[in-house]
C-alpha cells in the first residue's frame, strides 16, 4: 500500500516549539501548546533510565530499517538527540523511539538527549508530528493518534488540524477508518488492503459483511474503482457474493460484472447523464437517458466529436507510417 503523507505546511515540529522558536511572547502556553525549546544542550543519558512514551502513535517498527540504523549508530553514533522529559524514576521518551531501539541493539549504554518539560498532550502531539514528518505511521496508527488527542485532551478537529498541519477532511477520513471491523484494520496495518480499497467498505454497516467483502477484494485483487462498484452492488443486493452465478466455461462472473459497472461509470462521466448497460450473455444494449431534444443533440455531438477525433488520429497515424518510407514528415 502506498504511503500517504507529505510535509506539514512549513510548520513541522516548530509548530510545537521545536527548532527555531518564533512564538509571540504574549501567547501563553495552554494545556496543549508547547513551551519554547532550547535544542542546543543535549546530554548523554543512561539508556536504562529512559522509559518509552506510552502515547507513542507508532506501534510497528520495520526490523530491516532498525538493523540499518543500528549499523549506522555503531559506526557514527547517534547524530540527532532524542527528546525526553524528567520523571521521578528517570526519564520518559517524547520523540526518537527508533533511535532509542537501534541504540539498544547497537549495545550503547548512553544516548544524547534533550530534556524538556511537556505534559501528556504535548508529548502525544510531538510524537505524532515527528512520525507524520518521517512517514512512519500506517493509517490505523495515525487514526488512533488523532482519536487520542481529540477524546483525551478536548481538542476539536479544527484545533488538531492547525496543530499537526493536516486538513480537517484528512483527519476526518482517517478517523472514519476506526469504524471498520477490527480484522479489516489489521489488514490495513499489514498492507493486505489499501486505504483506498478500505474506505468504500464504510458504507456497509454489517461488520461481518465488511469482512467478507474485504476477503473477496484481496482474493480478486480488485482496483479501487472496482471496489467502489462492488460495494454499490452489495448495498443494493446484500447477498450478492452468495448469489453470484456459476459460469460453466470457468470464467469469473464477478470480474465481468465489475467491468460493466466500471464502464457504466465512465460513460456517465462522458455523457453527463445516466447510462445503463443491460443484457445477458454476449448480446447487450446501451441505454442513455436524455430529457429533451437539446440534450439528445448534445449527446449526438459528443459521440460525433469522439468518432471524428478517432478518425483524425487514425489518419495521422497512417500518414506518419507512410512518412517513414516517403520524403516528408507529419
What is the band of 135 on the pLDDT scale with cuts at 50, 70, 90?
A: low
Query: Could you tell me where the DSSP H helices lie in the chain?
Result: 63-76, 97-105, 120-133, 139-153, 157-164, 168-176, 182-189, 195-198, 207-220, 224-236, 253-271, 293-323
Q: Is the per-residue pLDDT at 15 higher than 70?
A: no
Write out the catalytic residue numbers: 97
b/e per residue, 68-98, with b = 16+ CB within 10 A? Answer: ebbeebeeeebeebbbbbeeeeebbbbbbbb
- Distance (Å) of CA 250 to CA 213, 246, 253: 21, 8, 9
- Distance (Å) of CA 190 to CA 24, 53, 139, 317: 43, 23, 11, 47
Answer for the pair 80, 96: CB distance below 8 angstroms, yes or no: yes
- 232: phi then psi, degrees, rounded to nearest 5: -60, -45
Query: pLDDT digit string (tens) for 64-100?
Result: 878 888 888 888 888 888 888 888 888 888 888 888 8
Name the DSSP class of 36. Answer: P
pLDDT of residue 150: 84
* pTM (global) more than 0.75: no
Distance between CA atoms of residues 291 and 316, nearest Å: 37
What count of other Cβ atoms lies within 10 Å of the Cβ of residue 9? 12
What is the band of 204 on the pLDDT scale with cuts at 50, 70, 90?
A: very high
Answer for the pair 193, 217: CB distance below 8 angstroms, yes or no: yes
All structural domains of the chain, each given as residue ranges with its CATH number in brackets, are 12-179 (3.90.1530.30), 189-288 (no CATH), 290-330 (no CATH)
Burial class (CB in 10 A: 0-12, 13-18, 19+), 219: exposed
Answer for the pair 264, 286: CB distance below 8 angstroms, yes or no: no
Query: pLDDT digit string (tens) for 230-256?
Result: 898 888 888 888 755 444 444 454 666
pLDDT of residue 198: 94
Burial class (CB in 10 A: 0-12, 13-18, 19+), 102: buried
Per DSSP, the three-state class of 226 is helix
Query: pLDDT digit string (tens) for 34-43?
Result: 444 444 578 8
Amino acid at each position: 500500500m502506498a504511503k500517504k503523507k507529505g510535509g506539514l505546511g512549513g510548520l513541522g515540529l516548530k509548530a510545537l516549539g521545536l527548532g527555531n522558536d518564533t512564538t509571540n511572547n504574549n501567547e501563553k502556553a495552554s494545556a496543549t501548546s508547547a513551551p519554547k525549546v532550547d535544542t542546543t544542550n543535549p546530554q548523554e543519558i543512561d539508556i536504562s533510565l529512559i522509559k518509552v512514551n506510552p502515547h507513542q502513535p507508532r506501534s510497528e517498527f520495520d526490523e530491516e530499517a532498525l538493523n540499518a540504523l543500528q549499523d549506522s549508530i555503531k559506526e557514527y553514533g547517534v547524530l540527532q538527540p532524542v527528546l525526553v522529559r524528567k520523571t521521578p524514576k528517570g526519564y520518559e521518551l517524547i520523540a526518537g523511539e527508533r533511535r532509542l531501539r537501534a541504540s539498544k541493539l547497537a549495545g550503547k549504554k548512553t544516548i544524547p538527549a534533550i530534556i524538556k518539560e511537556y505534559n501528556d498532550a504535548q508529548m502525544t502531539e510531538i510524537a505524532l508530528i515527528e512520525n507524520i514528518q518521517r512517514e512512519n505511521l500506517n493509517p490505523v496508527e495515525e487514526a488512533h493518534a488523532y482519536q487520542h488527542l481529540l477524546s483525551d485532551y478536548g481538542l476539536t478537529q479544527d484545533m488538531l488540524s492547525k496543530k499537526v498541519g493536516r486538513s480537517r477532511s484528512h483527519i476526518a477520513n482517517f478517523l472514519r477508518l476506526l469504524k471498520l471491523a477490527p480484522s479489516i484494520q489489521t489488514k490495513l496495518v499489514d498492507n493486505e488492503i489499501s486505504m483506498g480499497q478500505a474506505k468504500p467498505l464504510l458504507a456497509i454497516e454489517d461488520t461481518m459483511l465488511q469482512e467478507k467483502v474485504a476477503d473477496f477484494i484481496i482474493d480478486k485483487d480488485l482496483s479501487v474503482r472496482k471496489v467502489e462498484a462492488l460495494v454499490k452492488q452489495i448495498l443494493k443486493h446484500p447477498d450478492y457474493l452468495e448469489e453470484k452465478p456459476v459460469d460453466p466455461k470457468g470464467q469469473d462472473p464477478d470480474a465481468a460484472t465489475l467491468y460493466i459497472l466500471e464502464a457504466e461509470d465512465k460513460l456517465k462521466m462522458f455523457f453527463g447523464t445516466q447510462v445503463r448497460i443491460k443484457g445477458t450473455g454476449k448480446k447487450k444494449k446501451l441505454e442513455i437517458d436524455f430529457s429533451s431534444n437539446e440534450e439528445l443533440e448534445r449527446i449526438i455531438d459528443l459521440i460525433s466529436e469522439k468518432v471524428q477525433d478517432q478518425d483524425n488520429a487514425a489518419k495521422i497515424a497512417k500518414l506518419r507510417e507512410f512518412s517513414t518510407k516517403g520524403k516528408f514528415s507529419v
